[in-house]
Amino acid sequence: MHFTLQPGGNLKGEARVPGDKSISHRAIMLGALAEGTSRVNGFLEGEDALATLAAFRAMGVQIEGPVDGCVTVHGVGLHGLRAPDQPLDLGNAGTGMRLLCGLLAGQPFDTELTGDASLCSRPMGRVIEPLTRMGARIESAAGGRPPLAIRGGQRLRGIHYDLPMASAQVKSCCLLAGLYSEGETSVTEPAPTRDHTERMLRGFGYPVQSVNGEISLQGGGSLVACDIEVPADISSATFFLVGASIAPGSDLLLSHVGINPTRIGVINILQLMGADISLQNQREVGGEPVADIRVRYAPLHGVEIPADQVPLAIDEFPALFIAAACAQGRTVLHGAEELRVKESDRIAAMAAGLTTLGVRNTVLDDGIVIEGGPMGAGTIHTYNDHRIAMSFAIAALRAEGEITVRDCGHVATSFPGFDVLARRLGLRISAVAD
């Protein structure tokens, strides 16, 4: 599938984007390991989260749904999973694979994790290294890439691990392995990252300590089933936050969006650039802060992105690059090496697309420099990365000619129905089967 986009337009109205992908993954995982029945509302019915759901079904967990975002998980307890009959295929779900590595390292049975060509090109050494120190045995393809063979029956021991770079996935992997380890497992972050795992573990009754950047738990406990309300995903909302910020005449309200303080870097950065964004009806739902977000067009200016905001917006940078391209002046990003090992090398992929549209940019080892200016027309290659596809779709609001965005099938991994919602709000988008 590819998107064809006519230039111009603006975004108006009210919408609720799909549920948070990070929370949806974790809700299935912890619900499966809990004692009792957990009910999840707002579950993201995208391909990534559905791959995680299918993996736990393959390990003997009874799961009903999803139906209109509602899922019922009949937990089997920390030690109730069964060996799957075949390798667990995570599709394109990097979060699912990295977190499952931690959970499966402590099981009594062998498992193999695989995925699509994109996922099998992504390095998993960042989770293999600490898990091996804990006593896990994990075999990988060359370069620490999937498929991964995880040997069961290993005796895990708690360790302290200093994260070499801020990564919620690596932190979460270690903590989930810590559930099966002897003694205490602790992780120190060089900068705050999303804390959904810690929040949800506490919601399931498992004590987790967080003090001065060190997160720790004791092995050998248990999880108690609970109900979970998944807020709308701020990563999905980001495309419309940027779109409304750059398109004159826009006035948009996005409802029930998660505003976890470890995820709002995109709002902070856009406001620093001059965006007109306000949070309304702030409240807490299921242990996660949410709000309705109103965004109206305002002229943006280039900034040097603060280092402390980088890990808080790591998944939102492709869209932020579009905001930078539409801003007056220069935007500079450093400290974002992790963007190179996402579904694509997002620095290189975005730079190539911006160059196609005539936006001047300079690629750095750990980031990019973008000079704001007019955007032309052209054909964009997404490298099968859903966030690249949606970011360049939003760019059409300020483009001077038609944009074709190729290889958009993976948009369904995180945002099923993106084109339909975007068209309703004012984007001039057509989805065409290849």
In the DSSP assignment, the letter for residue 424 is: H
Please list, in sequence order, all residues whose beta carbon lies within 8 angstroms of the beta carbon of residue 258, skipping any fewer than 6 positions away. Answer: 20, 23, 231, 232, 233, 234, 288, 289, 290
Catalytic center residues = 315
Could you tell me if 138 and 149 are in contact, meaning their C-beta atoms sit under 8 angstroms apart?
Answer: yes
Which of 167, 150, 53 lies closest to 106, judged by CA?
Answer: 150
Q: Which residue is associated with the tokens 């995982």?
A: 29
CA dist 327 and 359 (Å) reads: 11
Q: On the CB side of 323, how many CA atoms lie within 13 Å of its CA?
A: 34
Q: What share of the chain is helix, strand, coil (3-state, %, to 5)?
A: 35, 30, 35
Length of the chain, in residues: 434
User: 420: helix, coil or strand?
Assistant: helix
Cis check: omega of the bond before 318, within 30 degrees of 0: no
CA dist 279 and 295 (Å) reads: 9
User: 407: helix, coil or strand?
Assistant: coil
Sign of CA dihedral 192, 197, 198, 200: positive
Pairing of strands 429-432, 2-5: antiparallel
Q: CA 268 from chain center: how many Å?
A: 18
Q: Could you write out the DSSP letters of every residue in 182-209?
A: BSEEEEE-SS----HHHHHHHHTT---E
CA dist 137 and 133 (Å) reads: 9
Sign of CA dihedral 114, 119, 124, 126: negative
**β-sheet with 2-5: strand ranges across:** 378-381, 403-406, 2-5, 429-432
Q: On the CB side of 219, how many CA atoms lie within 13 Å of its CA?
A: 22
